[in-house]
Every structure is written in C-alpha cells, then in structure tokens.
Structure 1
Amino acid sequence: MKITNLLPKVEPKSVNVEAELVLANSKFPESNLPFYRKLGRTDLTVSCLGLGGGGHISSEDTLYAFERGINYFFYSSDLHQYLYSSMRGALRQLCGKGSSIRDQVVLATVSYMIRTPDAVLTYLYDQFVDLGIDYIDVFFWGWIDEHNSNSFEKCLSASDDIRGSDTVCQRHIERVFGISERLKKMGAVRYIGASFHDHDLAQKWLDSSLLDVVMVRHNVAHRTAQNKVFPYLDPKDPQRPGIVTFKSAGMVGPLWTSPLGLPSGCWQPSVPDLYRYSLSQNCVDIALAGWTKREHVDSAIAAVQQGKLTPEELDYLNLYGDLHRNRIKVKDVPPQRWLYR
C-alpha cells in the first residue's frame, strides 16, 4: 500500500496510480485542477493545498483541515518554531507511533540549519521527539540561497545516506528511538526536498537525482519562478521533481489588499485566488498555505474547486502584481486588460 493511498489496502503490484487518483478525486467536483495529484516522481499522493504552521493554526483546526481532505502538512522545529508548535498535537495524532491513519498523511519537515550532512541527525532527533513519529515523508533543507549554497551541496551529496530504508540515517534513528516496522520499511526519511530562495539555484538542481521535491517562492508580484523554474519542467516527465510553492499571498506586503492606483471596480483577488494563481502554473503540485483558522481552509478548498484560472485572469493578475511592485503605471495599461467584478 502506498504511503498516501486513499483506497482500501491492496498489494503494491496491483495499484493503478491513475485509477487511485480518479477515485481519490471523486469526492470533489470534476475540474481541470484536480484536488489530489502525484507529487512529481515520488509515490506520494498529495492534496494540491498544503498546510504549514506559519499562521499559528490550532491543532483542532489542523485536524479539521485533514477531515476536509488536506493531507500535506509542513512542520519546522527550528525556525518560527513557536508558530508551528500549535499544530504539533494534531501532527502527533495523525503521524505519531500507533496512528491508524499514518498512511493517509504526507508529513514534510524542514531544517533551516544548513551546515554539514552529519548535522542532519540532530535536526531529525528534534523532529522525532517533537512529533513522536516513526518516519518523515519529505525532509527539506530550508532557505537555500547563495549564502549557504556550498553547505547545501555538501548536505545534498549525502541524500542516499539519509533517504529510504536501510540507510546510515535510519540506523542512527533506530538506536535512539527503537526499531519499528514502519521505520524498517520506510526509513527515517522517505524523500529529500529543498526550499529555495534563489531561483537560479532551484533551476540548477531540478534534474538532480539527489533531490525529490523542490519548493520555491511564487506569487503574482514575485514571478521569477515562471521564468527560471516552471518552464524547465515537463508535465509528461515521470521523473520530474515534485514542485511546491510558498508565499502565495505575499512577501513584502499582503497581496490581497488593493494596490495603489487600481481602477475602481476592478477584481481584487482573495487569498484563495492567489493559491489558484500558483496552482495554474506549469507542474506546480502544491501551494503551501499558512492558514490561521478553519474558515480559511474552507474558502481555499472552495476556490480551487473552481479550476485553473483562465489566460485572461492570469494576465490580469500579472498586472495586479506589477501594480503592487510599482512596475507599471495605470495610464499605460490598455483598458481591455482590466477585469471588473
């Protein structure tokens, strides 16, 4: 049975990935933006919206998100740990030792302390203690940019010692936390990811066999990934990495607020519309969200059920984002490019 298989248990050889996704998506209205999808070349079936703890969401509302169909959860134990701590109880319930629903959850964790490959054990110990888990689905090296690129390269070179079963990493974890059937089968870490703040570096590592999932910042006002990352991915390539976006709703300022100069009556996108913007890009599997309460979960799910944005909507949101960055002047925009709602 696959880790995130949403069907009754079957023998691995009989699983049909396409049939699995069709059945998983049958609970949602049919659309060109399927709610569940395969995460790149991994065997993980993930919801197109992922939940991180940056909004200090409660454990109760984290469990509510899972009940609504969200199955990708992102957790940090070193940066902004206080914000993430409020979802810890829910993740222990969903992913901890003895959980009967562990195989329905994709747990992604991150460390922003990029030093040496040996140091990863320290970060994993913290996460195993925090969450009481047997294994992690995707372990991310966080905040990769030009300042830590050399250290990241050294860490990534050790991917085969960290991910999968029967690795050095697994044996270390077993000595500290004990041996379990899940740990023996999955390994301490199933897949390796990296969160890039430098899109040139993200592009450089897209084709690396050492990296399974790539996470990049992306929104209507910061569209560098649309030039440097997304065009270099082939949606038909079964070996492409999984792609996760973050900062959909803003980086410097909130993008759901109207930019200065926006003509009266023009469409002012909601935060869920901004998730749809990222999910409408080539090969984006997950838009990571930092919801603060369950109402945000509901509105985000309702929005993605509307499907991908149209070319006209994408063009308008590009204008909208450029206004936020003061890249254009309203007087220079042809009237037909504005959308009124």
Structure 2
Amino acid sequence: SDSEWEQIVSRGGAAETVEAARADGVVRSIGLTSHQRRLAAGWAGTGRLDSLMIRYNAAHRGAEQDVFPETGSREIPVVAFTCLRWGELLKSTPDDPAGFRPPSAADCYRWVLCQPAVSVALAAPDGRKELDEVLSIVSPWQELSLLEQSAIRDHGDRVYRHGGSFP
C-alpha cells in the first residue's frame, strides 16, 4: 500500500538499510514484487528500484498500460509471474472457437517473453513433463508469430471472462 511504501522509504525505514547495503556492494540490486500494478509503477518511478516483479499473462495484461511504460522509460527489468493464470490459460473456455486448442505452458511463457518489457518469466511447472516443455523454449529461442500471439491474447480474453477469481 502507499502507507507501507512511505514507511519503507521514510527516514529510518527499511530502504535506508537496503540502499546502504547496495552502496557497500553487499546487495547488487533492489527489486520489489507486487500484485498492485499502479502502486508498482509508482514505486518504479521513484528511481529506487533496479527491478520489478509483477503478474503478467495473456488474461491479465493491465501491466501493459499501468507498469511497462514506467519500467520501459527507466529501463527497469520486469520479472513476470503467474504466467499461466494459475493454469487457466491451459484450459478451454465455453467461448473458444470450434477446433481451438488451448496453448501449451511453453507457448504461454513464450507469449509473455515476446513482450519487450519482460526480461524474465517465472515458471512453476506442474511436474517433470511440463518442466521439460518449458525448458525447451530456451534453446533455440523462437518468438511466436504475430498470429500465434494474437490467438493466445484472444484466448486470454476468454479466460479472463470465464476463469473465475483467484484460487
């Protein structure tokens, strides 16, 4: 919250200690994680952060407007989490077009990594098979085509409408 951030950055707050550790070389960089996009963008705008971790996936794209302009202008790396929307992006929805197959976990991570603002996509594979699938996107890297990106974005819209709330 804003009040928590003010407490952190106030005189004698945690930021003093962490920034001193960075100045002494004990800490290389300072980053924050948040589900609250507007607050996160505001924190990034202070110039006190070296990285920001935020929820971002095809069903939750608000960071494109709320966060990425701020992190992009300041060249702050973004780490994306919840890239599969708690697994919902891997499932069908009632509004899927005929013959549509939901994207794989690997394609959902590739979709996130096609966003220029995102430097890292955290993965939480559900078993060895999904881990191997996700790791396969690293080498050789292959960006999704614009058509593939659009199909996953459209599926994200459907998942957002039908996926329910936070589990």
TM-score (norm 2): 0.80
Is 1:150 aligned to residue 150 of structure 2? no
Conserved in 1, the CA contact under 8 Å of 2:45 and 2:70? no
Structure with the higher fraction of residues in helix conformation: 2
Return the alpha-carbon distance in structure 2 between the equivalents of residues 263 and 197 of structure 1.
31
Q: Following superposition of structure 1 onto structure 2, how do residues 47-58 of structure 1 map, counting pairs within 5 Å?
A: none
Match 2:153 to one of 318, 331, 341: 318
**Equivalent residue for 2:125?**
291
**Equivalent residue for 1:111?**
none
Q: Which runs of 5+ in 1 are unaligned?
A: 1-147, 168-184, 328-341
Match 2:18 to one of 162, 166, 169: 162
Q: Secondary structure at the match of 1:323?
A: helix
Alignment length, in residue pairs? 158
**Equivalent residue for 2:78?**
243
Tell me the CA shift for residue 164 of structure 1.
5.6
Match 2:64 to one of 210, 222, 226: 226
Deviations 1:96-142 (A, max 9, x none): xxxxxxxxxxxxxxxxxxxxxxxxxxxxxxxxxxxxxxxxxxxxxxx
Return the alpha-carbon distance in structure 2 between the equivalents of residues 194 and 165 of structure 1.
16
Match 2:94 to one of 251, 257, 260: 260
Return the alpha-carbon distance in structure 1 between the equivalents of residues 101 and 128 of structure 2.
25
Tell me the CA shift for residue 292 of structure 1.
4.1
Return the alpha-carbon distance in structure 2 between the equivalents of residues 149 and 207 of structure 1.
14
* Structure index of larger Rg: 1
Q: Following superposition of structure 1 onto structure 2, how do residues 165-184 of structure 1 map, counting pairs within 5 Å?
A: 165=21
Q: CA RMSD in A?
A: 2.5
Return the alpha-carbon distance in structure 2 between the equivalents of residues 162 and 233 of structure 1.
21
Return the alpha-carbon distance in structure 2 between the equivalents of residues 220 and 315 of structure 1.
10
Change (3 A) 1:306 1:210: closer
Q: Which runs of 5+ in 2 are unaligned?
A: 163-167
Q: Following superposition of structure 1 onto structure 2, how do residues 1-341 of structure 1 map, counting pairs within 5 Å?
A: 148-157=1-10, 158-163=14-19, 165=21, 186-187=25-26, 189-234=27-72, 240-251=75-86, 254-304=88-138, 305-326=140-161
Change (3 A) 1:221 1:161: same
Return the alpha-carbon distance in structure 2 between the equivalents of residues 262 and 311 of structure 1.
19
Return the alpha-carbon distance in structure 1 between the equivalents of residues 16 and 142 of structure 2.
38
Q: Secondary structure at the match of 2:137?
A: helix
Amino acid of the residue matched to residue 158 of structure 2? Answer: L
Tell me the CA shift for residue 280 of structure 1.
0.8
Return the alpha-carbon distance in structure 1 between the equivalents of residues 47 and 70 of structure 2.
16
Return the alpha-carbon distance in structure 1 between the equivalents of residues 145 and 20 of structure 2.
40
Deviations 1:294-326 (A, max 9, x none): 433321121343422222222211211111123
**Equivalent residue for 1:6?**
none
Return the alpha-carbon distance in structure 2 between the equivalents of residues 301 and 166 of structure 1.
32
Structure with the higher fraction of residues in strand conformation: 1
Q: Secondary structure at the match of 1:326?
A: helix
Change (3 A) 1:275 1:156: farther
Percent of paired sites with the same residue: 30
